[in-house]
């Protein structure tokens, strides 16, 4: 069978300082993401109909799962997948900006890049409780959405382009309850090169 493997961070734990601190990255990756990965593997280990599929296949057909494991796979499979995307869309190279086709699409969908940032910040800031904010491509259109817990846009038939983890575990050590400060800081470390690649692959 196909055990899912915790991906390594694509940079050092301290690479996103001062915006996201080393201690948070260590806990977030080595404990939280590792935990989702281990629990996903244990949920599917005895189910031959699931354990040969890719994570994208699993999350896009949650209704096909045996009810006994559906909740565990939704939560931990989403946790495994969402964090894998989240690490990739951040970068050591600070203060990047989008360009090319992605910038043109953002301008077209949200009237300007600044307006897009404002709307995304608002959705991330207003999300109640644990969850994620996303820029997704849905039927060829860019949309900003939020999801609860570890729910993934893949399960809604939408392609994730950019995401921000707004669980408290993502920011509490450095920012305590100040989620808006965390969101403001996070914009500095967005990997627009990678986001652009995800956009091009999805169109």
User: Which residues contact Mn ion (rule: CB under 5 A)?
Assistant: 165, 167, 170
Supply the minimum distance, in Å, between the C-beta of residue 46 and Mn ion. 27
- Which residue, 98 or 131, has its beta carbon nearer to Mn ion? 131
Among residues 162 and 170, whose Cβ is nearest to Mn ion?
170
If the CB atoms of residues 81 and 167 are measured against Mn ion, the closer one turns out to be 167
Cβ distance to Mn ion smaller for residue 15 or 103: 15
Structure tokens of 18?
A: 């001062």
Shortest Cβ 201–Mn ion spacing (Å):
24
Closest C-alpha among 35, 55, 31 to residue 44: 55
CB of 154 to Mn ion, least distance (A): 17
Instruction: Give the DSSP H or E segment for 179.
Output: helix 179-186
Q: How far is the CB of 83 from Mn ion (least distance, A)?
A: 6
DSSP state letter for 165:
E
> In a 3-state reduction of DSSP, which class is residue 109?
helix
Q: Do the beta carbons of residue 170 and residue 21 sit within 8 Å?
A: no
Tokens of 153: 């846009």
């Amino acid at each position: 069978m196909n055990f899912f493997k915790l991906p390594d961070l694509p940079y050092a734990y301290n690479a996103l300082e001062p915006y996201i601190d080393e201690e948070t990255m260590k806990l977030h990756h080595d404990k939280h993401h590792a935990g989702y990965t281990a629990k996903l593997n244990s949920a599917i280990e005895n189910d031959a109909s699931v354990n040969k599929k890719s994570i994208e296949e699993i999350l896009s057909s949650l209704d096909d799962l045996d009810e006994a494991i559906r909740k565990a796979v939704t939560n931990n499979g989403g946790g495994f997948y969402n964090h894998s995307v989240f690490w990739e869309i951040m970068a050591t190279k600070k203060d990047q900006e989008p360009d090319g086709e992605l910038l043109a699409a953002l301008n077209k969908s949200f009237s300007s890049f600044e307006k897009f940032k404002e709307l995304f910040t608002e959705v991330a800031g207003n999300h109640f409780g644990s969850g994620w904010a996303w820029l997704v491509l849905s039927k060829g259109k860019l949309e900003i959405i939020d999801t609860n817990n570890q729910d993934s846009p893949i399960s809604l038939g939408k392609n994730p382009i950019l995401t921000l983890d707004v669980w408290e575990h993502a920011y509490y050590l450095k920012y305590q309850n100040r989620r808006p400060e965390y969101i403001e800081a996070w914009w500095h470390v967005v990997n627009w090169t990678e986001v652009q690649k995800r956009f091009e692959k999805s169109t």
